């Protein structure tokens, strides 16, 4: 399944709409982009997002509260994540190479369809004639 976009619609009062439009104009982006940014931020921070005017944001940083909350990630975690991404890329490349090889073999099989001899057909021909062309051997 692919990543499908969904539509969200909601109502805001006229003052809030005008404020959002002003934000969009300040950033030189569309009003839809403002909402997408907000939703992306909301998802990225597990719902811990609130709209705060910039003046209040400055006062929060002075009091020691940081918004949005930040988390320290150890370098070993980042390195492991990067290693796993490289490994996943390598495995994707191997999978693509395997698929190309399988397609090549299928094409060869389709081209050489006349050269394929089924063992059942050989047994059937020998049984109809009642002859044995070759001596039979038994292992054991």
Instruction: Judge whether 95 and 103 are in contact, CB under 8 Å.
Output: no
Name the residue with higher pLDDT: 9 or 84: 84
Q: What is the mean pLDDT of the chain?
A: 78
Name the residue with higher pLDDT: 85 or 24: 85
Name the residue with higher pLDDT: 127 or 6: 6
Q: At what angle do helices 31-44 and 14-27 cross, to 10 degrees?
A: 90
Average pLDDT over residues 21-41: 84
pLDDT band at residue 131 under the 50/70/90 scheme: low
Q: What tens digit of pLDDT does each residue of 65-102 get?
A: 666 667 788 899 989 999 999 999 999 999 999 999 99
Q: How far apart are CA 30 and CA 16, in angstroms?
A: 16
The confidence score (pLDDT) of residue 113 equals 61
The confidence score (pLDDT) of residue 87 equals 96
Sequence-distant (≥ 6) Cβ neighbours of residue 57 within 8 angstroms: 67
> In sequence order, what DSSP letters do the residues of 41-110 get, joined into one string?
HHHHTTT------HHHHHHHHHHT--SS------HHHHHHHHHHHHHHHHHHHHHHHHHHHHHHHHHHHH
The confidence score (pLDDT) of residue 34 equals 81
Tokens of 12: 């805001």
Q: How far apart are CA 51 and CA 37, in angstroms?
A: 12
Average pLDDT over residues 37-54: 77
pLDDT band at residue 128 under the 50/70/90 scheme: low
């Amino acid at each position: 399944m692919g990543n499908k976009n969904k539509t969200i619609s909601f109502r805001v009062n006229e003052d809030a709409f005008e404020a959002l439009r002003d934000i969009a104009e300040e950033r030189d982006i569309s009003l839809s982009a403002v909402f997408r940014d907000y939703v992306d931020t909301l998802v990225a921070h597990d719902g811990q997002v609130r709209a705060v005017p910039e003046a209040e944001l400055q006062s929060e940083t002075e009091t020691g509260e940081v918004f949005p909350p930040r988390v320290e990630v150890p370098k070993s975690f980042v390195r492991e994540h990067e290693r796993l991404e490289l490994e996943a890329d390598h495995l994707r490349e191997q999978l693509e190479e395997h698929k190309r090889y399988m397609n090549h073999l299928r094409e060869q099989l389709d081209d050489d369809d006349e050269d394929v001899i089924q063992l059942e057909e050989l047994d059937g021909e020998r049984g109809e004639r009642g002859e044995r062309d070759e001596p039979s051997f038994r292992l054991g």
